[in-house]
């Protein structure tokens, strides 16, 4: 059993009739995700790749009982759509849109925390449990089933890392993208908690970057005693300060959020620090070799 999603998890796609939504739905279905319904207001009654489309989540729930959603609705409307999913009681909503206004994001995240739903994102690649299910946009050929959990702010950096692991015959249990920030629903800490109790996960790879507080928060958590090895990579070591490095949350401001501080915090907490994805396979093999069961 993988964390968050698994074989047979019933998924809904919001914004399924759009160009990106329909293409990515096709890829998810090919991968084995059970996409049971799509929602696009005004397009109820159509089908996309065999998936029935509804005008609202309310209708979709009655007829298809989805548990989780991935939302391809564009930025200015994404938070409203995600709130519809949260309000309807879906336990997990993946928000792919990059440009969700902050004033919308705070409402979406407040509602989700009030209702106990998880929001992944915004600006996220989603998540994939290789060989089982995918609720995201990952190029899934780079991923293989296995025992390493990956959690990353950046989608592309998680692809890069999964690719390197796969090439070294190390598979992944679940790979999670948190999103570009500067505000996040689901965090590294949340992922670490789930990976801790996950029997399919033997070690965790934490892929961080400059800016924000999430890596420091993760370091605090790991420092209290984390039972599985954590390998950490922080990118942006050479990024000039004061510049947004592609993600809204990736900026070193007034000396805060610098890569070296995050690296120091994680190292002090007991995480194993690497400088590039290709150092990760060797590090993992050494660590898991030390453990009695592997």
Partner 1 sequence: MEAAKKLAGPVVLKAQVLVGGRGLAGGIKFGEDPEEVGKVTSQVLNTLVEGERPSALLVEEKLEVTRELYAGVTYDYQQKRPVVLASSHGGVDIETVARENPADIAERKIDPFKGFSGYQARELAAKIQLTGNELVQYSKILSAIWNIFRKHDAELVEANPLAVLPEGKLVALDAKMNLDDKSILRQSSMLKRIGGIPPSQTGGLEARRARAKELGIPTYIEMQGNIGVVADGAGSGMLTLDLVADYGGKTKVYCEMGGETTSELMENALLAALAVKDLRAVLINLIGGLNLMDEMAKGITSYLRKHPTKIPLVVRMSGTNEDEGRRILTAEGIRWFDSLYEAVEKAVAASRGY
Positions marked catalytic = 247
Q: Are 217 and 243 in contact (CB under 8 A)?
A: no
Please tell me the count of residues contacting partner 1 according to CB under 8 A. 64
126-129 and 133-136: which strand pairing? antiparallel
**Which residues from 40-69 bind partner 1, rule CB under 8 A?**
none
Backbone angles phi, psi at 90, to 5 degrees: -65, 140
Residue 157 or 272 having the CB closest to partner 1: 157
Largest CA distance in the chain: 57
Alpha-carbon torsion (131, 125, 229, 272), positive or negative:
positive
From 7-15, 60-68, 157-165, 280-288, give the range in contact with partner 1 by CB under 8 A.
157-165
Mask 271-290, x = binds partner 1 (CB under 8 A)?
----xxxx------------
CB 65 → partner 1: shortest distance, Å?
Answer: 28
What angle do the packed helices 102-115 and 75-87 form, to 10 degrees?
10
Q: Does the footprint of partner 1 cover residue 135 (CB under 8 A)?
A: no
What angle do the packed helices 188-196 and 214-223 form, to 10 degrees?
30
Binds partner 1 (CB under 8 A): choice among 1, 42, 45, 103: 103
Place of tokens 């509804």: 54
SS3 82: helix
CB 94 → partner 1: shortest distance, Å?
Answer: 12
CB 17 → partner 1: shortest distance, Å?
Answer: 17
Chain positions contacting partner 1, by CB under 8 A: 20, 24, 27, 75-76, 96, 98-103, 105-107, 109-111, 123, 125, 136-139, 141-142, 152-160, 163, 180-183, 207, 209-210, 212-213, 235-240, 243-250, 254, 275-278
């Amino acid at each position: 059993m993988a964390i968050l999603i698994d074989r047979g998890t019933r998924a809904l796609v919001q914004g399924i009739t759009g160009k990106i939504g329909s293409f990515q739905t096709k890829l998810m279905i090919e991968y084995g995700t059970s996409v049971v319904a799509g929602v696009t207001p005004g397009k109820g009654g159509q089908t996309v790749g065999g998936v029935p489309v509804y005008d609202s989540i309310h209708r979709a729930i009655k007829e298809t009982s989805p548990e989780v959603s991935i939302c391809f609705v564009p930025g200015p409307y994404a938070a409203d759509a995600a709130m519809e999913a949260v309000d309807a009681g879906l336990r997990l909503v993946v928000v792919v849109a990059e440009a969700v206004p902050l004033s919308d994001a705070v409402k979406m995240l407040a509602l989700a925390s009030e209702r106990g739903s998880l929001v992944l994102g915004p600006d996220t690649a989603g998540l994939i449990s290789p060989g089982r299910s995918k609720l995201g946009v990952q190029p899934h050929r780079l991923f293989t089933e296995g025992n390493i959990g990956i959690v990353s702010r950046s989608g592309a950096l998680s692809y890069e890392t999964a690719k390197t692991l796969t090439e070294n015959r190390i598979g992944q249990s679940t790979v999670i993208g948190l999103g570009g920030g500067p505000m996040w629903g689901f965090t590294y800490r949340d992922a670490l908690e789930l990976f801790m109790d996950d029997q399919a996960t033997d070690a965790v790879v934490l892929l961080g970057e400059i800016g924000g507080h999430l890596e420091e928060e993760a370091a605090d958590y790991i420092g209290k005693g984390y039972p599985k090895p954590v390998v950490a990579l922080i990118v942006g070591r050479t990024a000039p300060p004061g510049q947004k490095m592609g993600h809204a949350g990736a900026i070193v401001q007034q000396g805060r959020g610098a890569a070296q501080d995050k690296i120091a915090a994680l190292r002090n907490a007991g995480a194993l620090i690497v400088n590039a994805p290709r150092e990760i396979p060797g590090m993992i093999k050494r660590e898991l070799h030390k453990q009695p069961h592997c």
